[in-house]
Structure 1
Amino acid sequence: MYPYHKNVGYDYLNHQQTPSHLDQRGFDARQFSGFFPSTLPTPPPLGPPGPPSQGPTSGPPTAPPPTFVPQQQVETFAVDPGGIARCLFNYTYVWLRGAEQFWFYPIFVGRTSVAGYRWTGFNWVYFGIDLRQIQSFTCF
């Protein structure tokens, strides 16, 4: 009557057999060849991001800044990222618009901002600022 009990052109596998044309994930390599990557991408690390790394060291300086306050340079209309980039990983004195001034240790310069460590008078804290807020700077 009905051929339910017979192998009618089908190759049945038991759970221990794996056909040679299937990969480890069970995809038919003949059908999906080149479609799936051979290795899976690694996930990004978990946890909050830290300060960006650029250069030989990305941590704060191990010593306090110089004890003197330098003479302010000529005011600029705008601070260029290329200009302040020469101060990377050097003690830099910064004057902001609004008369605030402080020692700064830049470790990253972007298109419109700079980031690094600001001296509080006792220790270095991670700090970032828009370049438009900087009135002038000088580095040592």
Structure 2
Amino acid sequence: MNYYNDYFNYDTVEYLDYFNRQQPGEFIAPPSAGGQSGPTPMGPPPGFSPPIPAWQQGPGGLNGCLFRNTYIWLRNGNSFWFFPTFVGRNTIIGFQWRGIGWIYNVINPNSVVSFQCF
């Protein structure tokens, strides 16, 4: 699979610049998406990786997980903690936990198999 198809919407590739400027442990706030602003993750996510739910749900219900720690499973087999700050029809924007800190990330909703928010 193509990396950009799994993680990014082509309209938001300009946000990739934030990956290049961030140093380990450093937080760089991205521009707000669609004029929305809200809380950003203040600490690490829960210290566990939940099992994938028996049911599979697409990204439609992610609006209920806005500004909450959410575990996401993708079609390509990847799974990770995510803190969504914007959910649109073509884009999910937020922060992905990378073990040393939160990194700004954009996900293509079509790549989401399931999720669980906490």
Question: TM-score range, shorter-chain basis?
Answer: 0.5 to 0.7
Q: Aligned partners of 1:56, 1:106: CA distance in 2, in Å?
A: 10
Higher helix share: 2
Which of 1 and 2 has greater Rg?
Answer: 1
TM-score of the aligned structures, taking structure 2 as reference length: 0.67
Question: Are positions 1:129 and 2:111 aligned together?
Answer: no
- Cα pair 2:66 2:83 within 8 Å, conserved: yes
Q: Aligned partners of 1:51, 1:138: CA distance in 2, in Å?
A: 24
Q: Aligned partners of 2:41, 2:67: CA distance in 1, in Å?
A: 8
Could you tell me which runs of 5 or more consecutive residues in structure 2 were left unpaired when the two chains were aligned. 1-29
1:6 is matched with which residue? none
- Cα pair 2:38 2:85 within 8 Å, conserved: no
Give the C-alpha shift of residue 84 in structure 1. Answer: 0.4
Could you tell me which runs of 5 or more consecutive residues in structure 1 were left unpaired when the two chains were aligned. 1-48
Aligned equivalent of 1:56, options 38, 54, 59? 38
TM-score of the aligned structures, taking structure 1 as reference length: 0.57
The aligned length equals: 88
Larger relative contact order, structure 1 or 2 (CA cutoff 8 Å, min sep 6):
2
Identity among equivalent pairs (%):
40
Greater than 6 Å deviation, 4+ residue runs: none
RMSD of aligned Cα (Å): 1.9
Amino acid at match of 2:43: A
Give the C-alpha shift of residue 55 in structure 1. Answer: 4.6
